[in-house]
Chain A
Amino acid sequence: MEDRPISLTLRIVAGIMLLFLLAPVLIVVPISFSADTYMAFPPSGWSVKWYVAIFQDPKMINAFWVSLALAVLTTVLSLAIGLPAAYVLVRLRPRGSEAMASFFTAPLLLPSIVLGLALLVVFATFGLLGTFQGFLAAHLVITLPYAVRVLSTALSTLPRAVEEAATTLGAPPLSVFFRVTLPMMRNAIVATSALAFLVSFDEVVLSLFMSGPRISTLPVEMYHHVENEADPMVAAISVLLIVLTFAVVVVVDRTAGLSRTFVK
């Protein structure tokens, strides 16, 4: 792509768009430092008491650990299932692999409220509602399509000849996969991990259906909190989540290159 000078009008339009997209997020930051007992903008005074409040709220802290564990496990399982699935779909191409590829990505197309309702009915029969395993299974339903997509695309652009070279040099199939194929997919694996982690950590709709009195995730707890209270603690949590998201994006950018990983 060549760099062309961008006209002033375009810059202004782009600036307004960016502001429009970021304004709600930016407004959360001052509110989180509010000294008021309710969310209002601008705050009448400044304080960090709502950040302190988060750590004094065992419900929130519990929900955070659940969300973190859930996001990490979902990420690991997405890779563990997504990689072999992508390998089969792209490399081994069994009969009906195209149909399977569509099947794998189908949950992306469904409204999550529909998915949530369907999972509610199914999980209720198996007693999975309100359990960690239930959350995990539900989150995998929405992270796997991303994982399979990103990994398949990456795999299909890998030159076969490199793997064949490893084969002729004496590497049995498993060695070829672990020593050549996998390292060459590094960028896609980083991207998949970031996507799966963020999608799982941010997930609200499905989690609302899955949660029960004993277990809940951070976004669900935040939702319930906002329903009952109007204090700025949720804004403080939101700021921490923005920082976390930003950190993940920075890690991806540093290890694999952001545009290289997501744009391709």
Chain B
Amino acid sequence: MLHVPVTGSSESAAGEGFLSVRGLNKRYGDFIAVDNLDLDLPKGELVAFLGPSGCGKTTSLRMIAGLVPATSGRIVVGGRDLTTVEPYRRDMGLVFQSYALFPHMSIAENVAFGLKMRKVGRAETEQRVREAISMVRLTGKESHRPAQLSGGQQQRVALARALVIRPSILLLDEPLSNLDAKLRDEMRNEIRDIQQRLGITAIFVTHDQAEALTMCDKVAVMNAGRLEQLGTPVELYEKPQSPFVASFIGRTNRFAAVAKNGAAELAGLSIPTPAGMTGKVEVMIRPHRITLSAPADGAPCHAVEGVVTRSIFAGDILQYEVVAHGATFLVEQGTAAHERPLEQGSPVRLHWLMSDTYVFGAAA
């Protein structure tokens, strides 16, 4: 099991985060949906829960919101233990994939709902609703019904409705999945802008790694109910700590090899392995970190001769399939105007840095 401490940023170094999750578990009979989740999130950050469907990311979010009771574990926000607090007393804003607006209420009534529940005075309610609606650029639509708005507008109403109560944490459950691609990019920026402007702590559940990497301060990669790694997008990409993270974030070449005496054999090369690692290992190399010429600064690298077996021009990148000593490598190169793609059968020499080579003990 991998338990990865919070890495990176200095403000989180001081012990517990703003949101602190300890040993959170969710079992449905024999099925373990969330397995011993530990998390510390600093105030003001946007953190993605990223993973394939069924990895436990939504269940974790719903346990934090209190909509799903935890089997065991502790949830603390800003020093307040919320583990047994009812969901309607947790002061969290939740945005759903399906928008979940109240169809029988106007946009203004939707946004005002949380304030009404808090018995906020009329004048203050009106002002805060007006501000929230203007924040999501929907001024003028106050008296519309949700059904009269587009999907993107409905999701912005949901965002305003969640934020107007000034929640301690904003929880977003795949908020962009029902939107079309163009709108998704727009909303992504909008959510990020608002989150940074308000300095609110937010969790963003997604299965889309591009969303997670481009808009979040940190990403928690989850798989089969477990937290595989929590780190900044760069850390996940450059220093994956498990084969799952390496293969889930970005594309990668995966090779099975056997480690013996501190090295594993791959395509006639001897790849150094971490001390003490023996038996089956996985070697991973990112396709776009493989170059066709030796690095100019003479950094230590691996090199191997091969033949191009497939050549695909994909506009912004060139993809080659190269067979070298029986191993098939996927190689990606940026395209340049003057360059002609290599043809099938061309001999090539592949290079990649030692530091771009990841070796993992084979997953159980």
A interface, CB within 8 angstroms of B: 159, 161-162, 164-172, 175, 179-180, 183-184, 186
Instruction: Give A175's nearest chain B residue, CB to CB.
Output: B117
| 16 interchain pairs, CB-CB under 8 A | A159-B100, A161-B96, A162-B100, A162-B101, A164-B87, A165-B161, A168-B66, A168-B88, A168-B93, A168-B171, A169-B114, A170-B88, A170-B117, A170-B118, A171-B113, A179-B113
Q: Are B117 and A168 in contact (CB under 8 A)?
A: no
Least CB distance, A109 to chain B, in whole angstroms: 35
Q: Are B113 and A161 in contact (CB under 8 A)?
A: no
Interface: B103 (CB within 8 A): yes
Q: Are B88 and A172 in contact (CB under 8 A)?
A: yes
B interface, CB within 8 angstroms of A: 65-67, 86-94, 96-98, 100-104, 113-114, 117-118, 158, 161-162, 165, 171
How many angstroms between the C-alpha atoms of A161 and B92 in the bound complex?
15
Q: Are B117 and A164 in contact (CB under 8 A)?
A: no
Report A-chain residues with C-beta under 8 Å of the C-beta of B94: 164-165, 168
Report B-chain residues with C-beta under 8 Å of the C-beta of A179: 113
Report B-chain residues with C-beta under 8 Å of the C-beta of A169: 88, 93, 113-114, 117, 161-162, 165
Instruction: Give B161's nearest chain A residue, CB to CB.
Output: A169
Q: What 8 pairs across the A-B complex have the smallest Cβ distances?
A: A170-B117, A169-B114, A161-B100, A165-B100, A168-B94, A183-B104, A161-B96, A162-B100
Most buried by A among B67, B162, B165: B67
How many angstroms between the C-alpha atoms of A164 and B95 in the bound complex?
10
Report A-chain residues with C-beta under 8 Å of the C-beta of B65: 168
Report A-chain residues with C-beta under 8 Å of the C-beta of B114: 169-170
How many angstroms between the C-alpha atoms of A170 and B165 in the bound complex?
9
Report B-chain residues with C-beta under 8 Å of the C-beta of A172: 86, 88
How many angstroms between the C-alpha atoms of A184 and B101 in the bound complex?
11
Report B-chain residues with C-beta under 8 Å of the C-beta of A186: 104
How many angstroms between the C-alpha atoms of A62 and B101 in the bound complex?
49
Q: Are B100 and A184 in contact (CB under 8 A)?
A: no
How many angstroms between the C-alpha atoms of A184 and B104 in the bound complex?
7
Q: Are A168 and B101 in contact (CB under 8 A)?
A: no
Report A-chain residues with C-beta under 8 Å of the C-beta of B102: 162, 165-166, 180, 183-184
Report A-chain residues with C-beta under 8 Å of the C-beta of B97: 161
B67 interface neighbour in A168, A170, A175, A183, Cβ under 8 Å: A168
Q: Are A164 and B89 in contact (CB under 8 A)?
A: no
How many angstroms between the C-alpha atoms of A168 and B173 in the bound complex?
13
Q: Are B165 and A164 in contact (CB under 8 A)?
A: no
How many angstroms between the C-alpha atoms of A183 and B117 in the bound complex?
17
Report A-chain residues with C-beta under 8 Å of the C-beta of B101: 162, 165
Report B-chain residues with C-beta under 8 Å of the C-beta of A164: 67, 87, 94, 96, 100
Least CB distance, B154 to chain A, in whole angstroms: 12
Q: Are B89 and A170 in contact (CB under 8 A)?
A: yes
Q: Are A184 and B103 in contact (CB under 8 A)?
A: yes
Report B-chain residues with C-beta under 8 Å of the C-beta of A165: 94, 96, 100-102, 158, 161
How many angstroms between the C-alpha atoms of A186 and B100 in the bound complex?
18
Report A-chain residues with C-beta under 8 Å of the C-beta of B161: 165, 169
Most buried by A among B114, B158, B165: B114
Most buried by A among B96, B97, B98, B100: B100
How many angstroms between the C-alpha atoms of A186 and B162 in the bound complex?
26
Starting from the known contacts A164-B87, A169-B165, 16 additional A-B residue pairs (CB-CB under 8 Å) come to A161-B96, A161-B100, A164-B100, A165-B94, A166-B102, A167-B87, A167-B88, A169-B93, A169-B114, A169-B161, A170-B165, A172-B86, A183-B102, A183-B104, A184-B103, A184-B104
